[in-house]
Amino acid sequence: GCGACCRQPVPISISEARGIRQLVEALPEPRRSQVRARFDAARARLAASGLFEPFAHPTPETAARKQELAMAYFRLGIPCPFLDDESCSIHPDRPVACREYLVSSPAACCAQPTPETIRVVALSAKVSSVLRAMEQPASADGAAWLALALALDRTDAPAEESRLGPGPAWVEEFF
């Protein structure tokens, strides 16, 4: 039903972007072309709004600046390329940030979200933040995240090598 959350600049890690690209490439036609067209439309909307650069090449920002950028993106109404009929079409494969975003507010409050109207369930730790931080030094440009809507752009470049190696090393670093 409610896809308001799916109009935010979902921050994903570099490895999640690679996974999204693989997911898109594995889709059957014509679905693959439809989803790619949605990514193209999101990119075009960001470019037309002047917001492409801060989302294509994110830099460390203050909390206030992050909130300002997130709200500007939200006001554009750019739906996630995987949003179908206000539902996630990749729910089992959705990014970690989507899994962590738990809102208990009525859907009507999401049209004009404010800290007073949106009740987010607080998590004591966020795996998404740790994942992005772990990958930051491995990224060629030092970016710790990128917006989901630009995932295919970022993964057009050669894959960055992970500084952590295989999965067990990731788990050790995580903990």
Residue pair 55/146 in contact (Cβ under 8 Å)? The answer is yes
Quick: pLDDT tens for 33-86: 999 999 999 999 999 999 999 888 877 777 788 889 989 999 999 999 999 999
Q: How confident is the model at residue 3 (pLDDT cuts 50, 70, 90)?
A: confident
Quote the tokens at residue 48: 């037309």
Show contacts of 160-168: CB within 8 Å, 24+ apart: 160/14, 162/15, 162/135, 162/138, 163/137, 163/138, 164/134, 164/138
The answer to whether 8 touches 70, Cβ cutoff 8 Å, is yes
Backbone angles phi, psi at 146, to 5 degrees: -150, 160
pLDDT at 31: 98
| pLDDT(143) > 70 | no
Q: What pLDDT is recorded for position 128?
A: 77
- Can you tell me the mean pLDDT for 135-158? 67
- Condensed to tens digits (0 to 9), the pLDDT of residues 152-170 reads 986 554 444 445 556 666 6
